[in-house]
A and B are shown apart, each in its own frame.
Chain A
Amino acid sequence: MELFFTLAGVGLFALMLPILYRLIVGPTAIDRIVAVNIIGTKTAVSLVIVGVIFEQVGMFVDFALAYALLNFIGSLAAARYFHRVRQEREANTNNASTT
């Protein structure tokens, strides 16, 4: 069963690579943020799997919980940031056109 968990972790990591491709290539910045969000979620999952392999799940579960929290806050902050950048840009263009 430990071999199975090792293989599951390796498979999880291998499936992160196409998302890493989207992170590098992605045409807009929000594509990249989505890729980072997914990789962060899967990192929390693979932390739990690493805890099972090392037989210390009780310790690694807390790491995974903290990582999922930070990931959520990071993606929300990025979304808010782009929202605000857009609004400020619109305000600037309106001011430039009126004056």
Chain B
Amino acid sequence: MSLMINIVSGALILVGLTFFLAAAVGIVRFPDFYTRMHAAGKGDTLSTILILLGVALYTVGDFSIETLLVAFKIMAIAVFIMVTSPTSTHALMQAGYDDGIKPFEKEKEDKKDSEDQPEV
């Protein structure tokens, strides 16, 4: 039973790290502010939830009231991040859009020197 819980929590943590790898690659490679926000908002949130779920499952492995409370707190962190991370992504996206950052377009790349993005 304990080995089963360890395997499942390890798999959850590994899947979470994989999603975080995808988010990191997206943040480095994407050409534009908005696309980077896209990678950040989703990959970051999902990887955080998966890793915290794995840790909570590992914590509740040796069962008592104390570890149950700790696992509940970890899940509270996961729910909190699940609510707040898209909220802050949305707010930052709104700020960037109001700031006049232009979306990436492929045709315009030739005359990119003529149009300067406004410095924030």
In this complex, the interface size class of chain A, counting residues with CB under 8 Å from chain B, is: 35 or more
Q: Which of A34, A62, A72 contacts B73 (CB 8 A)?
A: A62
Q: Which A residues are CB-close (under 8 A) to B94? A: 79, 83
Contact between B99 and A30, CB atoms less than 8 A apart:
yes
Contact across chains for A37 and B20 when beta carbons are under 8 A apart: no
Which of A1, A69, A80 sits near B58, CB closer than 8 Å? A1
B interface majority secondary structure? helix
* Proximity string of chain A (1-22) to chain B, C-beta cutoff 8 Å, 1 when within and 0 when not: 1001000100110011011011
Identify which of B25, B69, B85, B96 contacts A41 (C-beta below 8 A). Answer: B85
Give the interface centre of A4, A18, A42, A45 by most chain B CB atoms within 10 Å: A45
Is the Cβ of B27 less than 8 Å from the Cβ of A38? yes
List chain B residues, Cβ under 8 A from A19: 24, 27-28
| Structural contact, B91 and A76, CB atoms closer than 8 A | yes
Q: Considering the complex, which residues of chain B in the window 52-94 have a beta carbon less than 8 Å from any beta carbon of chain A?
A: 52, 55, 58-59, 66, 69-70, 73-74, 76-77, 80-81, 84-85, 87-89, 91-92, 94
**Judging by beta carbons under 8 Å apart, are B28 and A18 in contact?**
yes
Q: Closest CB-CB distance, B57 to chain A, in whole Å? A: 11
Q: How would residues 17 to 32 of chain B score, 1 for a CB under 8 Å from any chain A CB and 0 otherwise?
A: 1001101110110000
- Known contacts A4-B10, A12-B17, A52-B58; decide if A61 and B70 are in contact (CB<8 Å): yes
Per DSSP, are chain A's interface residues mostly helix, strand or loop, or mixed? helix
With both beta carbons as reference points, the residue of chain B lying nearest to A23 in the complex is identified as B27
Interface flags, B76-120, vs A, CB<8A=1, else 0: 110011001101110110111011110000000000000001001
Give Cα A11–Cα B10 distance, bound, in whole angstroms. 13
Partner of A72, one of B24, B25, B33, B84: B84
Chain B residues packing against A (C-beta within 8 Å): 6, 10, 13-14, 17, 20-21, 23-25, 27-28, 33, 36-37, 40, 44, 48, 51-52, 55, 58-59, 66, 69-70, 73-74, 76-77, 80-81, 84-85, 87-89, 91-92, 94-96, 98-101, 117, 120
